[in-house]
Amino acid sequence: MKQIQKFFSSIRLTVLLLAVSTVLVFFGTLDQVHYGIFHTQQRYFESLFVVWSYPVQWPGHERLGWIELPLPGGYLVGPLLVINLVFAHFRYYRSGWRKSGIILIHAGLVLLLVGQLWTQLRQKEYFMWLAEGESNNYVESFHTDELVVIDRSNPERDRVYSWPVEAFSRGQTELRHPGLPFRLRVVGFAQNAAIFPLDQGPPNTPDLNVTRGIGADRNLTFIQIAPTFREGERNVTTALVDVVTPDGPRGRWIVSNVFRQRDPMREFFPRQTFEVDGREFEVALRFERRYLPESVKLREFRHDRYPGTDIPFNFSSEVTLGDPGSDDARRALIYMNHPLRYDDLTFYQASFAEGDTMSMFQVVGNPARWIPYWSTLIITLGLLLQFGLSFISRFYLTPAAVPVPVAAESLTATAARPADRQPAAGPAK
Amino acid sequence: MNPERTTLLQRIVVGVIFLFAGLLFLRHAMPERHDTDFDIAAFVALPVQEGGRIKPADTVARTTLLVIANRTTVRDGDERLGAAEWFTEFSLDPARAVERPVFRVEHPEVAGILGIPADERMYVSLAEILPHFDTLRAQWESIPEESQLRSSYEAALAKLRDAVGLYDSLSHAYTGPPVLGRADTGLRMLRRALNDRTNLDPDSEEARTVENALSLFAGHFTRAARSTALSTIPPLEGGDEPLAEWSNLGSVLLEATQTGELDPLAVTYAEMAAAYRAGDAAEFNSRIKDAANLLAARGHAPAGKIAFERFFNQLSPFTYAAVVYLLVFLAAAASWTVWPRVFANTAFRLMAAAFAVHTFGMFAHAYLMGRPPVTNLYTSAIFVGWGTVLLCLFLEKRFRNGLAAAAAAPVGFCTLIIAYHLSFTGDTVEVMRAVLDSNFWLATHVPTVTIGYSANFLAGSLAIVYLLRDRIFGGLPAPSARLLEGMVYGVVCFALLFSFVGTVLGGIWADQSWGRFWGWDPKENGALMIVLWNALILHARWAKLAAPTGIMQLAIFGNIITAWSWFGTNMLGVGLHAYGFMDAAFFWLLAFVISQLACIAGGWLPRLRFFNVRHEAATQTGAAEKLSGQSTAG
C-alpha cells in the first residue's frame, strides 16, 4: 500500500505523464492530416490506448511503414494526472501562504481536467442550413445517424421513433416499439456505402431484392466501402430494412443518410412512406436530429466583401425564434464572434451557399461550458501568486541579487548622515 | 583592471559602433533620393486601392517587387532602379518595363524552359518569358491544386505563374491597354471617336465606322477592367466610406465608350504617362500635382495616413532593427572575452535603441492595419522578437552582463528575418478576414500567447548560451552559471504563466464565437504542448530530476516545441486556425529542429573549453561582481 501511494504521489510520475501528454498531443495533431480532427480526437484523446503508425503518405513509407508507436490515450493519461495530483497533494501538503499558489493551480487543474472529460462525454455538435425566409425546428448532428420511423397519422403532430445507428451496427437486427404495429428487421448495413443502379454496377453486383421506396423505383443496390474520416466529408451510412407486421413482411427498403429532402446543392429525394393498418408511416436513416422548442427562421443573410476582393468583410444572419406565424418572435443577429445562445445550444455562423441566400449555423451543446472559466480563473490566480511570490523573494529579497549601485549608494548615505547632523548640532552647543 | 574607468581606446571603439548605428538610422530615415528630374516620389505617393484597402502606390511597388523578385531593387546591367523608379516605369512606360529583369527564377528546370543558363543569372524579364508562354501554359495546367502535392519544380512553376499573373494584374492601372498596338495613341483615338460620335450624323457611313471602333475599344477595356487588380480612380462622391469601391482604369474607359464622358483623373493619368514617355519632366511633375489635387477633391489627398505609410515603408524599421540586433549579439559575445563591462553596456544600449525602432515599427504597422499588433503570421514574427527583446531588457537592466543580450539578440534578428521572408507573399498590411474580426480578443489572447512564444525562445536561447559557454567557449564560472540557471527558471515560469493564460483566453474566445472551449485543433494543441512542456521543465527542476545541464537541454527542446506550435501547426492545413501551407518554410523548420537537437546533444559532449584560461578571469569580473555586489562595494 505504501509502495502504491509512493508511486502515485511521485513527481517523477508527474514529469513522465507530462512528457507522455506532450507526445500524445503531438501525434494526435499529426494524424489530423489523414483522419480529420473528429476521428483523431476519438482515437487519441478519448481512448485508453492508441497506436500511431508511420503514415502511408510520408516519404519512405515502403521502408519505414513498419514503424509504430503505442501510446497511452487521453482517458488513461488524464485520470492518472488527476490521481497523481491528489496523491501528491496529501503527501507534500504543508500549510502556509508560500504554498497557497500551488494548491490553487492544482485544484484548478483537476477541475479543468474533469470538466474536459465531462465535455468530451457530453458535447454534441450539430448544424442547421436555412435558406432566406425558411424556418426549421431541429438541428442535425455532424457525426451520428439515426434510423427513424415517423408516424404521420396525426395531422397535428408527427410521432418519431428513433434508434441510434450504433444499435444495429453492433448486431441488433430486430427493432420494435410498443407504439408501432410492425417491427423493423435490419438486413444489411454499411457505415459507408456506394449506392448505384443495379444495371450500372460491375458484374456480380449483389441484387438486394429491394421491393419498396427509392431503392425499388430506381432499381438501386449498394456495397460497403471504406469509411472516410477526412475533415468535411461524411460517410454515406446506409441500411437495408424489412418492415415485418404480424401478418408477414411488407417489403424491403434502402434507407440512407444521403436520401435527404433539403440541403444546398444536392439532389432532393422523396420521402419513403408506407401504410400499415390505415396509418401512414415514413422510414428513414438520417443525420441524428435534436428538436428545438421553437422554430428558427432566417430573415436575411448578409455577406459583404472588401472592395475589389473576395475577402469577407462580414457575414451575418438575422433570425427570429418562435412558433411559425406567431407575433412574439424573438429577433437575433448571428455574426462572427457573436453566436446565439438558445436552449443550452450555441448557434454560430459557419457557412453559406446558393449565392449568399443560404446560411449554415454550427450548433454546439456543451453542459460543462462554464467549468473552464472557473478553473482557469483559479489556475491563473495560483500562477500569479506562486510566481509573483517567488519572483519577489528571488529578485528583491535575496541579498545576492542586490545590484552594485544600490549597495554603494546606501553605504555613502550612512556615511553622510552624521555629517549632515553636525551643522544642526553646532548652534546648540 | 579598474572596472570604473573606460580607456580612450574603449571609448573610441564604442563611439565607432554607435556612430555606425546612428548613421545607418539616418540612412533609413532620410527620404529616398532619385537621380532624375521626374518627381518619382510624388508619383508613388498617390493613393490607390488594392487588396481591399487604400494605400500609397509606393506600397504596391515594394510588395510587388518583393513577391516577383524577392527584393526591392531591380538591377538591369549597370542600371539600378529602386522600387519607386521601377514602378513608375512599369506603370507609365510598359513597353520599356517589359525589358527589365524582374522575375526571379531559381529552379534550373524552369530556367531551362526559358532558355536561360540558371547558373549565370536569376532574373528574367517579361520579354524573355513571352516567347515561351505556350510551353509554360501547358506546364502550368499540370500543377496540382493543393500546394502540399507539388514537387519543387511544380512549386517553382506555380511561383512564376503567380508572379506573371500579378504583373499582368497591375499593368493597366495608369495606362490603358494598347489599342491597335500602341499604348500612347489609345486615349487620343478614344477621345476622337467619342467626339466624332456626338458630331456626326448617326446614319452616316462615318458614324458606323466610329461605332465599330468604339466597340473594338470596349472589348479591350472590358478585358483590362476584368484583369486589373489595382484601382486608381476613386468614385466622385462617397469615396470616404470604408467599403467604397474604386474603379480601375479599364472600367472607367469602358464606361466612357457608353456615356461619352471621360473621368478627368483618367485623362490626367494619360497625360502624365505621355509626359513621362516623352521625357518631359516639368510637364510630368505638374500633371502629378493635378492628379493629387483631383484625388484630394474626392477625399483622398496623398497625405495623412497615406503619407505616413510611405514614411513607414522607406524607414523599414524592421530591417534596421535586425541589423542592430546583429551588432548587439557581437557586442554581447565580445563582452565575454574582452572589456566585459564596456561591451555589456554597449550591447544593452544598442539593444534599447534597436528595440525603440522595433517598437515604433510594430505600432506603426498596427496603426496602418487599424488593428492590435498581432493579426497574422507576419506580425506574430515581429511580435515574438519584440517580446523576447523586451524580456531581455528587463534581465539586462538587472544583471548587466551581456548574457541575456547574447541570448535575445539572435531571436530578435531571426524573427525579423522570418518576417521579411513572410513578406514575400504580398502586402503585410492585410485586411482582416471576418472570422477573426474581434479587436478585443486580438488584443488579449493573441499577444499573450505570442509573449509566451517569446519567453520560450528566450529561455531556450539562454540555455544555448549556457551550454555554448559551459562546453565550448571558455567555461562558465559558478556565479554566472547560477545566474543563468536562475534566469532560465524565471523565464520558464513567465512562459508558463503567459502560455497558459493565452491558451485559456483562446479557449474562451473559441467558446464565445464557436461554442466550444477546446476542439483539439492543431494550433490549440500546439499551445497545449508549450504549456505541458513548461510545466514539465518546472517539475523536473523542483524534483531535482535533472541537473542544470538537463534543465538547459529541456529548455532548448522548448524551442522546438514553440517553433512547432508557431509554424509547424500551420503547415498541416487542418482546422480553424490554418492560414495556409508554406512549403519553403517546412525546410527551415526542419533545419531549425536539427540545429536545436544538435545543441541538446552538445550537452552530452565532454567540455572542450577553448580560450579557457584567459576568459575565465574576464567573465569572473564581469558576471560575478554584478551578482554579488560585494567586490566593488566593499
Task: Assign 3-class secondary structure to chain A.
Answer: CHHHHHHHHCHHHHHHHHHHHHHHHHHHHHCHHHHHHHHHHHHHHCCCEEEEECCCCCCCHHHHCCCEEEEECHHHHHHHHHHHHHHHHHHHCCCCHHHHHHHHHHHHHHHHHHHHHHHHHHCEEEEEEEECCCEEEEEEEEEEEEEEEEECCCCCCCEEEEEEHHHHHCCCCEECCCCCCCEEEEEEEECCEEEEEHHHCCCCCCCCCCCCHHHHHCCEEEEECCCCCCCCCCCCCEEEEEEEECCEEEEEEEEECCCCCCCCCCCCCCCCEEEECCEEEEEEEEEEEEEEEEEEEEEEEEEEECCCCCCEEEEEEEEEEECCCCCCCEEEEEECCECEEECCEEEEEEEEECCCCEEEEEEEECCCCCHHHHHHHHHHHHHHHHHHHHHHHHHHHCHHHCCHHHHHHHHHHHHHHHHHHHHHHHHHC
Q: CA A370, CA A347: separation in Å to the nearest integer?
A: 17
pLDDT, tens digit, for every residue of A67-120? 899 999 999 999 999 999 888 888 877 777 777 888 899 899 899 888 888 888
> Across the interface, which of B497, B521, B575 has its CB nearest the CB of A383?
B497
- Note whether B257 contacts A: Cβ–Cβ < 8 A: no
pLDDT, tens digit, for every residue of A175-226? 889 989 999 999 889 989 999 888 887 777 778 888 888 888 888 899 889 8
Mean pLDDT of chain B: 85
> Do A229 and A254 reside in the same domain of the chain?
yes
The pLDDT > 70 percentage for chain A reads 89
> Do A163 and A282 reside in the same domain of the chain?
yes
Give the number of beta-carbon pairs within 8 Å between A and B: 195
Residues of A in contact with B569 (CB under 8 A): 29
Q: CA A240, CA A170: separation in Å to the nearest integer?
A: 15
Cβ B434–A309 below 8 Å, yes or no?
Answer: no
Mean pLDDT of chain A: 82
Minimum distance, in Å, between the CA of residue A395 and any CA atom of chain B: 9
Give the confidence band of B617 by pLDDT, cuts at 50, 70, 90: very low
Q: Which amino acid is at A339?
A: P
Residue-level pLDDT at B55? 93
> Across the interface, which of B51, B433, B561 has its CB nearest the CB of A312?
B433
- Kindly state whether residue A168 falls inside one of the protein's structural domains: yes
- Kindly state whether residue B602 falls inside one of the protein's structural domains: yes
The answer, yes or no, to whether residue B228 has pLDDT greater than 70, is yes
Residues of A in contact with B533 (CB under 8 A): 18, 22
Cβ B628–A400 below 8 Å, yes or no?
Answer: yes
- Kindly tell me the sign of the dihedral angle through the C-alpha atoms of A408, A409, A414, A417: positive
Total domains present in chain A: 3
> Do A214 and A270 reside in the same domain of the chain?
yes
How far CA A97 is from CA of A94, A380, A382, A404, B578, in Å, comes to 9, 16, 11, 31, 44
Interacting residues of A365 by C-beta distance below 8 A, sequence separation 6+: A123, A124, A126, A290, A344, A345, A346
Cβ B633–A403 below 8 Å, yes or no?
Answer: no
> Do A145 and A284 reside in the same domain of the chain?
yes
Give the residue from A288, A303, A331 where a domain finishes: A288
> Do B620 and B516 reside in the same domain of the chain?
yes
Average pLDDT over residues B74-93: 90
pLDDT, tens digit, for every residue of A128-172? 998 898 888 899 998 889 999 999 888 888 899 999 988 777 777
Residue-level pLDDT at A369? 81
Cβ B435–A364 below 8 Å, yes or no?
Answer: no
- Kindly state whether residue B257 falls inside one of the protein's structural domains: yes
What is the extent of the structural domain holding A7?
2-93
> Do B470 and B532 reside in the same domain of the chain?
yes
Higher-pLDDT residue of A263 and B346 is: B346
Cβ B504–A380 below 8 Å, yes or no?
Answer: yes
> Across the interface, which of B493, B569, B633 has its CB nearest the CB of A407?
B633
Rounded to the nearest 10°, the torsion over CA B626, B628, B632, B634 is 170
Average pLDDT over residues A234-261: 90
- Note whether B520 contacts A: Cβ–Cβ < 8 A: yes
Cβ A37–B575 below 8 Å, yes or no?
Answer: yes
Residue-level pLDDT at B538? 93
Give the residue from B138, B170, B202 where a domain finishes: B170
> Across the interface, which of A308, A383, A390 has its CB nearest the CB of B245?
A308
- Kindly state whether residue B16 falls inside one of the protein's structural domains: no
pLDDT, tens digit, for every residue of B139-193? 888 888 776 667 778 888 888 999 999 999 998 888 877 765 555 566 777 888 8
- Note whether B512 contacts A: Cβ–Cβ < 8 A: yes
- Note whether B246 contacts A: Cβ–Cβ < 8 A: yes
The answer, yes or no, to whether residue B447 has pLDDT greater than 90, is yes
- Kindly state whether residue B633 falls inside one of the protein's structural domains: no
pLDDT, tens digit, for every residue of A397-422? 554 433 333 333 333 333 333 333 33
CA-wise closest residue to B124 among B65, B69, B60, B62: B69
Residue-level pLDDT at B626? 40
> Do B391 and B529 reside in the same domain of the chain?
yes
Minimum distance, in Å, between the CA of residue B412 and any CA atom of chain A: 25
Interacting residues of B577 by C-beta distance below 8 A, sequence separation 6+: B521, B522, B523, B524, B569, B570
DSSP track, B259-296: HS---HHHHHHHHHHHHHHHT-HHHHHHHHHHHHHHHH
> Do B517 and B574 reside in the same domain of the chain?
yes
> Do A208 and A301 reside in the same domain of the chain?
no
CA-wise closest residue to B447 among B499, B389, B525: B499
Interacting residues of A318 by C-beta distance below 8 A, sequence separation 6+: A298, A299, A300, A301, A302, A331, A332, A333, A334
Length of chain B: 634
> Do A308 and A262 reside in the same domain of the chain?
no
Average pLDDT over residues B410-428: 91
Nearest CA in chain B to A39: B520
> Across the interface, which of A11, A36, A346 has its CB nearest the CB of B543?
A11
> Do B111 and B193 reside in the same domain of the chain?
no
pLDDT, tens digit, for every residue of B301-324? 888 899 999 999 999 999 999 999
Residues of B in contact with A22 (CB under 8 A): 529, 532-533, 536, 561
- Kindly state whether residue A123 falls inside one of the protein's structural domains: no
Residues of B in contact with A12 (CB under 8 A): 543, 545
Cβ B518–A364 below 8 Å, yes or no?
Answer: no
Pairing of strands A248-256, A238-245: antiparallel
Residues of A in contact with B494 (CB under 8 A): 387
> Do B275 and B138 reside in the same domain of the chain?
no
Residue-level pLDDT at A135? 86
Give the confidence band of B618 by pLDDT, cuts at 50, 70, 90: very low
Residues of A in contact with B249 (CB under 8 A): none
- Kindly state whether residue A69 falls inside one of the protein's structural domains: yes
- Kindly state whether residue A427 falls inside one of the protein's structural domains: no
Minimum distance, in Å, between the CA of residue A276 and any CA atom of chain B: 43
Residues of A in contact with B508 (CB under 8 A): 372-373, 376
What is the extent of the structural domain holding B252?
186-300
Cβ A15–B526 below 8 Å, yes or no?
Answer: no
Minimum distance, in Å, between the CA of residue A18 and any CA atom of chain B: 6
Q: Do B508 and A337 contact (CB within 8 A), yes or no?
A: no
> Do B274 and B328 reside in the same domain of the chain?
no
CA-wise closest residue to B266 among B283, B287, B281: B287
Q: CA A422, CA A417: separation in Å to the nearest integer?
A: 9
- Kindly state whether residue A107 falls inside one of the protein's structural domains: no
> Do A275 and A297 reside in the same domain of the chain?
no
Give the confidence band of A34 by pLDDT, cuts at 50, 70, 90: confident
Picking from B149, B456, B518 by the largest number of A CB atoms within 10 A of its own CB, the best residue to mutate is B518
Give the confidence band of B76 by pLDDT, cuts at 50, 70, 90: confident
Minimum distance, in Å, between the CA of residue A10 and any CA atom of chain B: 9
- Note whether B337 contacts A: Cβ–Cβ < 8 A: no
Residue-level pLDDT at B183? 53
Among all chains, which residue has been given the C-alpha cell 528630374?
B37
> Do B246 and B130 reside in the same domain of the chain?
no
- Note whether B633 contacts A: Cβ–Cβ < 8 A: yes
Give the residue from A66, A93, A120 where a domain finishes: A93
- Note whether B149 contacts A: Cβ–Cβ < 8 A: no
Three cell numbers, residue B443:
488584443
> Across the interface, which of A306, A337, A390 has its CB nearest the CB of B52?
A306
Q: CA B16, CA B152: separation in Å to the nearest integer?
A: 45
Residues of A in contact with B444 (CB under 8 A): none
Question: CA-based Rg of chain A, rounded to a whole angstrom?
Answer: 32
Cβ A307–B493 below 8 Å, yes or no?
Answer: no
- Kindly state whether residue B8 falls inside one of the protein's structural domains: no
- Kindly state whether residue A160 falls inside one of the protein's structural domains: yes
Average pLDDT over residues B101-125: 84
CA-wise closest residue to B546 among B492, B469, B465, B503: B492
Cβ B501–A383 below 8 Å, yes or no?
Answer: yes
- Note whether B41 contacts A: Cβ–Cβ < 8 A: no
Residue-level pLDDT at B288? 94
Cβ A307–B626 below 8 Å, yes or no?
Answer: no
> Do B225 and B361 reside in the same domain of the chain?
no
The answer, yes or no, to whether residue B581 has pLDDT greater than 50, is no
pLDDT, tens digit, for every residue of B357-408? 999 999 999 999 888 888 888 999 999 999 999 999 999 988 888 889 999 9
- Kindly state whether residue B306 falls inside one of the protein's structural domains: no
> Do B359 and B286 reside in the same domain of the chain?
no
pLDDT, tens digit, for every residue of B497-544? 999 999 988 988 888 877 778 888 889 999 999 999 999 999 999 888
Nearest CA in chain B to A407: B633
Three cell numbers, residue B511:
467558446
Count CA atoms within 13 Å of residue B90 on its CB side. 28
Q: To 5 degrees, how large is the angle CA A152–CA A156–CA A161?
A: 40
- Kindly state whether residue A152 falls inside one of the protein's structural domains: yes
Minimum distance, in Å, between the CA of residue B344 and any CA atom of chain A: 15
Interacting residues of B524 by C-beta distance below 8 A, sequence separation 6+: B503, B506, B507, B510, B518, B577
Cβ B516–A402 below 8 Å, yes or no?
Answer: no
> Do A160 and A239 reside in the same domain of the chain?
yes
Three cell numbers, residue B99:
525589358
A140 phi and psi angles, rounded to 5 deg? -120, 145
Interface of B with A in 203-222 (CB under 8 A): none
Residues of B in contact with A116 (CB under 8 A): 518
Picking from A9, A29, A230 by the largest number of B CB atoms within 10 A of its own CB, the best residue to mutate is A29
Minimum distance, in Å, between the CA of residue A133 and any CA atom of chain B: 24
Give the confidence band of B62 by pLDDT, cuts at 50, 70, 90: very high
Element of type H or E holding B54: strand B53-56
- Note whether B542 contacts A: Cβ–Cβ < 8 A: yes
Total domains present in chain B: 3
The answer, yes or no, to whether residue B233 has pLDDT greater than 80, is yes
Interface of B with A in 423-482 (CB under 8 A): 431, 433-435, 437-438, 441
Cβ A395–B398 below 8 Å, yes or no?
Answer: yes
Pairing of strands A248-256, A193-197: unpaired
> Do A190 and A263 reside in the same domain of the chain?
yes
> Do A149 and A283 reside in the same domain of the chain?
yes
> Do B542 and B577 reside in the same domain of the chain?
yes
- Kindly state whether residue B135 falls inside one of the protein's structural domains: yes
Q: CA B146, CA B155: separation in Å to the nearest integer?
A: 10
pLDDT, tens digit, for every residue of B266-314? 889 988 988 998 899 999 999 999 999 999 998 888 888 999 999 999 9
Q: Do A152 and A273 contact (CB within 8 A), yes or no?
A: yes
Minimum distance, in Å, between the CA of residue A380 and any CA atom of chain B: 7
How far CA B377 is from CA of A130, A285, B525, in Å, comes to 35, 44, 17
> Do B396 and B263 reside in the same domain of the chain?
no
> Do A13 and A75 reside in the same domain of the chain?
yes
Cβ B626–A231 below 8 Å, yes or no?
Answer: no
Length of chain A: 429
Give the residue from A341, A365, A389 where a domain finishes: A365
> Do A317 and A267 reside in the same domain of the chain?
no
Residue-level pLDDT at B587? 81
